């Protein structure tokens, strides 16, 4: 399976970023920018332009947007490439967690968030973006009979993401529900299970309630009981998420929807 690989040539501390605004960045933005620059997915000028745009919005009292969202909205980074970077970062964090097993042999559920700029070496993460025509799904689609398409189209996936997973927290919540086979959801238990703040989980659950993914049962406001049309969206999303050939593409749509 052919892949577009980007050689690691620049050193992490020599990526062409200006020093301005770096100290005001989110740690995850700092790491993301270093990885995409290290893999030559964007130019330093593009990253600096987006950082200044974010700083201007914050100064104007607007909510801070993540760097990846600005890069995608400005057309500087495709959702698929952004998804591939996010997948690579998650895999790297997972490998790090495995190496840092506790003495009891347990893997920490979630790494502590970065509290400063990415350490030297963290940006040396290889990102591979598969060409669509070389993925198994694309080949299957090309070989499918006329009128019969394999997998979900980009527009169908985008619609499913917009309705049931407009953010990185939602796949984690779906994974938690699937693993624990829960229907009545306790926000605190879910937050501890996925390693996210309870306030973020409650906000996401409220969004699901408005979208028809949840409904109130008795005193419990969060019962996982999707309407029929929502079940179709969840099926499309779960199938694409589980397919390695489309995982990065789905992640890209999720990042773009945040």
Any idea which of 2-6, 161-165, 233-237 has the lowest mean pLDDT?
A: 2-6
pLDDT in tens, 205-239: 999 999 999 988 878 889 999 989 999 999 999 88
Separation CA 68–CA 88 (nearest Å): 14
Per residue in 229-239, is it b (16+ CB within 10 Å) or e — as a string?
A: ebeebbebbbe
Query: Quick one: pLDDT at residue 98?
Result: 55
Burial class (CB in 10 A: 0-12, 13-18, 19+), 86: buried
Q: Could you please report the per-residue DSSP string of the chain? A: --EEE----S-TT-S---STTGGGS-HHHHHHHHHHHHTTSS-HHHHHHHHHHHHHHHHTTPPPPPHHHHHHHTTSS-HHHHHHHHHHHHHHHHHHHHHT--TTSPPPSSPPPP-SSPPTTTT----EEE-GGGSHHHHHHHHSPTT--SS--HHHHHHHHHHH-SSTHHHHHHHHHHHHT-SB--HHHHHHHHT--HHHHHHHHHHHHHHTSEEEETTEEEEE---HHHHHHHHHHHHHHH-TTTHHHHHHHHHHH-
- pTM equals 0.60
Domain boundaries, the chain: 3-128, 154-257
pLDDT in tens, 20-57: 444 456 777 888 888 889 888 999 999 999 999 999 98
The CA R_g of the chain, rounded to the nearest whole Å, is: 20
Considering the segment(s) 154-257 as one domain, its CATH architecture is Orthogonal Bundle (1.10)
Query: Quick one: pLDDT at residue 118?
Result: 44
Of 73 and 129, more confident: 73
């Amino acid at each position: 399976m052919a892949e577009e690989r980007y050689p690691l040539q620049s050193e992490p501390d020599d990526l062409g970023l200006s020093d301005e605004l770096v100290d005001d960045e989110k740690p995850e933005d700092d790491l993301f920018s270093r990885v995409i620059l290290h893999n030559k997915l964007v130019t330093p000028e593009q990253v600096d332009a987006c950082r200044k745009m974010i700083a201007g919005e914050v100064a104007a009292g607007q909510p801070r947007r993540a760097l990846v969202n600005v890069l995608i909205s400005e057309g500087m980074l495709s959702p698929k490439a952004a998804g591939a970077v996010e997948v690579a970062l998650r895999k790297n964090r997972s490998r790090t967690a495995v190496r840092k097993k506790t003495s009891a042999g347990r893997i920490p559920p979630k790494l502590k968030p970065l509290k400063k700029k990415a350490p030297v070496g963290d940006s040396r993460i290889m990102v591979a973006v598969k060409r669509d025509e070389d993925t198994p799904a694309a080949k299957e689609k090309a070989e499918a009979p006329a009128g019969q398409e394999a997998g979900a189209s980009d527009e169908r996936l985008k619609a499913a993401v917009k309705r049931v997973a407009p953010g990185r927290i939602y796949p984690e919540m779906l994974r938690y529900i699937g693993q624990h086979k829960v229907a009545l959801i306790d926000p605190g238990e879910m937050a501890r299970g996925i390693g996210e703040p309870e306030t973020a989980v409650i906000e996401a659950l409220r969004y699901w309630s408005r979208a028809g993914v949840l409904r109130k049962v008795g005193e419990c406001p969060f019962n996982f009981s999707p309407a029929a049309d929502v079940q179709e969206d969840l099926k499309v999303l779960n199938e694409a998420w589980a397919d390695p050939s489309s995982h990065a593409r789905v992640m890209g749509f999720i990042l773009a929807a945040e």
